[in-house]
Chain A
Amino acid sequence: MDYTIPENLALMVETIRRFVKKDLDPISQQVEKDDRIPDGIVEAMRELGLFGLSIPEEFGGLGLGALGECLVYEELSKTNACFRTRVATNNGIGSQGIVLDGTPEQKERYLPRLASGEWTACFALTEPEAGSDAANIQTTAELVEGRWLLNGRKHFITNGSESHVATVFALTDKSKRAKGGITAFIVEKTYPGFSVGTIESKMGMRGSHTCELIFDNCEVPAENVIGGQAKVGQGFKTAMKTLDKGRLTMAASALGAAQRLLELSVDYAKQRVQFGRPIAEFQAVQFMLADMASQIYAARQMLYHAAWLRDKRGSAVIKEASMVKLFCTEMAGRVADMAVQVHGGMGYMKDYPVERFYRDLRLTRIYEGTSEIQRLVIAREMLKA
């Protein structure tokens, strides 16, 4: 078994490492306070190519495989999670519907703009009545005089207020729902009848904005059905394929944050003196550090293996991806809890980054498929034979 990282990916990781250390981490607490990423940083992220990770090279992206994308996200997640989130919905769920199922004309119009970061994309599936039960959406689309009219309300949409383009899922046949009644649309923010609703206040992920999107007779051109006319009613498949692909990168983000928490904890344990010696000399603390390190090691091996497998097969690794998302995000939750414990009172203070990681990581067990949904997917894949 050879786990050597290919040279060009190793160079990318090094670039991200330096960018995080020099430009992102020094402002991570400020971004937390302001709830906003400075424009100059978004521009720097564009220049580095971070918005085009997963968009094919022919459309101006980097065309990275799963391993490359995971390595970039792992490194980018060693600071405030909002930086990763700013690019991740664009690379992931926002644009992947178009990459996977878009028509040549749709790819030509949207992908180069998304790859450069000139435009960004979000993914609008979730609704008040449709979370894990994604097929229960209420938003409708009706073909009237050659264009689609969308009506309804999406919520919890990451980067919804920053995006120029949304991949929106709506009912085109209520009787069929997931079995041929849901269609995916590309909606530009300038279309009449589209608006951004409430921007939510969250437990964490400050600097990244989650909002409602409102469709009030929103007019969408007929050609904006993802995949064209033939794909009307096939949107649920597009949604599931898109989410499958995102699971590994979500796991990579949790892993990167866990690694940073381990590093912070080791440093702190070595310099924090109680009872006349550094707390790293106490077994109670050593055991926590050892547990953190071992679980991170296990998580990294399974992530890299699944990513490698996906690149090798060139197709979805459904069961493995769900296992990896489940394990890595749950692992990161345990690591974050231990990191707060190692830091003691300091781990609970807003002036120190540990409590921020703790809050931000909580989300990774919920979005893009809760831990419970991952378990259902794993069991279903395992038992179907």
Chain B
Amino acid sequence: MNLVVCIKQVPDTETQIKVGADGKSINMDDIKWVMNPYDEFGVEEALRIKADKGGDVIVVGAGPKRVTEALRTALAMGADKAILIEDEGLYGADPIFVGKLLAKAIEPLNPDIVFFGQRAVDDDCGLASSSVAEALGMPQLAVIVKQELDGDTIKVQRPVEGQTNVLSTKLPVCLTAQKGLNEPRYASLPGIMKAKKKPLEVKTLADLGVERDDKIEIAAINPPPERAPGKVIQGETPEELAVNLAKALREEAKVI
């Protein structure tokens, strides 16, 4: 089995995000970069399929040189090989374009399954996977929490509003992983030592014969509005407190 996992490197969810000086990007100083948490589910699932059915797990990422770290983490978890499409200006690019770019690198790998996280936690788009499926002519089964392989048929479960959709299709397929699919393993310390010796191939846009072709651009990034401070209702007795609360809800908050 050729199992490919696409990985995005994103700011750690504990990082305080600040808007950059241009108002269109985030301030990159002091950001801790990690593998997108949803992509970890993809890596874990691919490793489990490999353990069960055999094959190779190849992880693919696109972006600046620092993305190497996320790819090495996947190698340390147990992936066999990594490909980095290195380009300093790729962070924040049109996800449809990024998908086309990834497809160029993935196609020669002749994949049976291409995994993605269901979305990246930085821009929340969740579009690159669809773009790859489209470019490679694969069906896409998105936001899955369970998969079963039987020969060249795959059956998946996808939660929707209190029910579960069960979908099935033939390989090759593009899957996007949702929380609940599995519990990702740690990159163990011996795994990290081994990862140093695993192949990590670096390609450029030119190597893949691709030019930037973004259809959308980020016009502005606005931080969420600051939350107004809470208000303590004053009053000596329960009755007085209730009256003042009701008054505040009606006259100030205008909710009753």
Contacts and interface: CB of A to CB of B under 8 A. Distances in A.
A164 B191 CA distance: 26
B69 interface: yes
Contact of B195 (A8, A50, A72): A8
Given A8-B192, A8-B193, A19 B186 contact: yes
Interface string A1-34: 0000001101110110011000000000000000
A41 interface: no
B170 interface: no
B218 interface: no
A281 to B, nearest CB: 15
Q: Chain A, interface size: which category?
A: 10 to 19
A49 B189 CA distance: 5
A14 B196 CA distance: 16
B187 interface: yes
**Interface residue SS majority, chain A:** helix
A48 interface: yes
B190 A11 contact: no
**Interface residue SS majority, chain B:** helix
B193 A62 contact: yes
A108 interface: no
A15 B34 CA distance: 11
Contacts, number: 46
Interface string B68-86: 1100110010000000000
Contact of A48 (B34, B68, B186): B186
A47 interface: yes
A10 B192 CA distance: 10
Nearest to A23: B186
A48 B196 CA distance: 17
B193 A57 contact: yes
Interface in A43-57: 47-50, 52-53, 57
B7 to A, nearest CB: 14
Contacts of B73: 11, 14
B196 A8 contact: yes
Contact of B189 (A7, A12, A18): A12
Most buried by A among B73, B187, B195: B187
B188 A15 contact: yes
Interface of B: 34, 68-69, 72-73, 76, 186-193, 195-196
20 contacts: A7-B68, A7-B72, A8-B195, A8-B196, A11-B69, A11-B73, A11-B195, A12-B192, A15-B76, A15-B186, A15-B188, A19-B186, A48-B186, A48-B189, A49-B190, A49-B191, A50-B189, A53-B189, A57-B193, A62-B190
Interface of A: 7-8, 10-12, 14-15, 18-19, 47-50, 52-53, 57, 62, 72
Top 8 nearest A-B pairs by Cβ distance?
A49-B189, A49-B190, A11-B192, A48-B188, A15-B186, A15-B187, A49-B188, A8-B192
